[in-house]
Amino acid sequence: MWRKKGIPMLALGTVFMLSACGTGAVTGAGSVGNSGSGSGKVVIKYWTANGGKIEEAKQNLVKKFNESQSRIEVQQANQGNYDDLHAKVQAAFAAGNAPAVFDLEIASTGIFSRSGMLTDLTSLAKRDDAELDLKDLNPGLMGNAYVDGKLYGIPFMRSTPIFYKNVSMLKEAGLDPAGPKTWTELEQYGQVLKSKGKTPLTMGVDVWIYEALVAQSGGKVLSDDGKKATFQSPEGVAPVQFWKKLSDEGIIKFVVGKTAGADADKDWSNQMSAFKIGSTAGVSASMEVAKGNNFEMQTDFLPANKSYGVPTGGCHLVITSKLNEQEKEATWEFIKFMTSKENTIYQHKYVGYLPNRLSALQSEELQSYYKQFPQYKVASDQLKYAVPRPNANAYPEVTKTMVDAMTSAIFEKNVKPQDAMNEAAEKANKLLAK
């Protein structure tokens, strides 16, 4: 499905789809003096993903950047979720209209960089190390920034999945709000909550969360070289078996479809579910929900199996290739601004995304903030157990195969998790071999 050179086959299909639909969503990349103001500024297009407070934070930062200097104008446009954004960037690149900079979900770094769509940032980072300070970027967030030894992304709004708890509901059920800490305790807590007429946990069949549970079980989703599936191993099957068991027991309510994440969040917000598993990007919004609905909320590490474990997520800021030198330098200036210590503190407090810089994490401002709002600190503490997401070219396509297999195993009584994952691995290996 994916090619190592040129535009991915999926992208070519997307080009035709966008052309046929006439969406008008594709606009130009960076250029000089085309803002209509006649100012002679370098104008760069910045395409973003996600909405709500996440988009608000980006808009605020872009406005701050534009007002901070008079040489560069950043024009921001939201393109939907990560899948929508990636497809539109691929289509725009094929048409010669790619944005200069965009939010790239970290697991797609491999396919975008190896397809020649991204600028190698290695030399720029080395040249400007006194200003950029790569060593200050949290090592736990750099795993997906490099592909084949070259730097392609600078961590921006980065995340891990964390465990959200309705503490009020736990106290009403006579449960210690400090837990559950393990898979076993999650099942035990679930049985008590179920006996009280509550749904313990609502969630979608999510690959990102599955990656966490595989890491907790001591396994890996793909081989180290990214050429073979390993999720059919005992460590890879254990999470699916666990999910099927808790689904059958009525402890986990699985929701499916495009609205699965929103549906799970709604159950938690409406106090139908005691727990939810979600991105640290949701901390700020979830605290507002808890306050508005008059319940106490805490965040915690994901309950452990053999150990704790969690993948990182979120996006880098990347520069598309084929920009002229002036556009590339202007875009690089913007990226350095967006990922500065000051601005990583801002977006962390505004949304909940991880502070990307060690200096930000260790700052007096955040240390004081954590004493007042410890819910924000959990994701950073959990980073010591973090693993990178697979960077194989075919991984975005492989994940669809994995989700189909897990969904079948969970919902179909006669489907065994091991059989489902074995079949998915066969399909995955064919994709990974291309």
Distance CA 407, CA 185 (A): 24
Tell me the whole-structure pTM to 2 decimals: 0.85
Q: Could you tell me if 43 and 34 are in contact, meaning their C-beta atoms sit under 8 angstroms apart?
A: yes
* Calpha distance 245→160 (Å, rounded): 25
User: Is residue 212's pLDDT more than 60?
Assistant: yes
* Whether 312 contacts 105, CB under 8 Å: no
- Position 13 pLDDT exceeds 80: no
Greatest mean pLDDT among 4-8, 13-17, 30-34, 404-408: 404-408
The three state secondary structure string of 333-355 is HHHHHHCCHHHHHHHHHHCCCCC
DSSP SS3 for 302: coil
Residue 18, pLDDT above cutoff 70: no
Reported as a pLDDT band with limits 50, 70 and 90, residue 39 is low
Q: Residue 350 and residue 334: Cα distance in Å, rounded?
A: 20
CA dihedral 336, 338, 341, 343 (to 10 degrees): 160
The whole-angstrom separation of Cα 260 and Cα 263 is 5
User: So what's the pLDDT on residue 11?
Assistant: 37
User: Chain-wide mean pLDDT for the chain?
Assistant: 90
Q: Tell me how many helices (H) and strands (E) the chain has.
A: 19, 15
- Report d(CA 71, CA 88) in Å as an integer: 28
Instruction: Give the Cα-Cα-Cα angle 279, 230, 210 (nearest 5 degrees).
Output: 20
Reported as a pLDDT band with limits 50, 70 and 90, residue 10 is: very low
349 pLDDT more than 80:
yes
Q: How confident is the model over 359-418, as pLDDT tens digits?
A: 999 999 999 999 999 999 999 999 999 999 998 999 989 999 999 999 999 999 999 999
**pLDDT, position 434:** 86
Q: Which domains does the chain have, with CATH numbers?
A: 9-159+312-387 (3.40.190.10), 161-311+394-432 (3.40.190.10)
**Nearest of 345, 340, 280, 284 to residue 314 by alpha carbon:** 280
Q: Higher-confidence residue: 18 or 84? A: 84
- Number of C-alpha atoms within 13 angstroms, CB side, residue 228? 6
